[in-house]
Amino acid sequence: MDRPPFPEGLEHVRTTAVFDNETVPAGLLRAHHVAAGVWGRLVVHTGEVDFVFEDDAENPHTVHAGETMTIPPERKHHVELRGHATFAVEFHREPKERQPQSGHESTGLSGGDDPDR
């Protein structure tokens, strides 16, 4: 199975600490998922990390230093470290609706339609 694409237009929410073989949380080494509406991105800093989707466990993705892996919402997965490695996980989501700033609201009228002109 191919690596999922990372959607455009997402906003960065947070990034975990950088983990290594000694500090990786046990939960990342067993099946888990990212929350609904949240996209993850595994960022490998050094070494190699195998990224495994539980629904395609026979085809792990090896992510090398400098590479990333997109993690879709709610898709179960886990990581396996290959030798010494360091990595972090970024979390992204759809941007919240932006409210107009006071004084910048649109009337919906163009210049020629304004009856007060």
What is the tens place of the pLDDT at every residue in 29-48?
A: 999 999 999 999 999 999 99
The partner residues of 93 in beta bridges, in order of sequence, read: 11, 38
Quote the CA–CA distance of 54 and 30 in Å, as a whole number.
10
User: Could you tell me the two tokens for 42?
Assistant: 């595994």
Annotated domain spans of the chain: 11-96
Quote the CA–CA distance of 50 and 32 in Å, as a whole number.
15
Q: What is the dihedral of CA 79, 17, 13, 82, to 10 degrees?
A: -20
pLDDT tens digits in sequence order for the chain, 117 residues long: 578 999 999 999 999 999 999 999 999 999 999 999 999 999 999 999 999 999 999 999 999 999 999 999 999 999 999 899 999 999 999 988 655 555 555 555 545 555 554
CATH number for the 11-96 domain, one of 3.30.230.10, 3.30.1330.10, 2.60.120.10, 2.102.10.10?
2.60.120.10
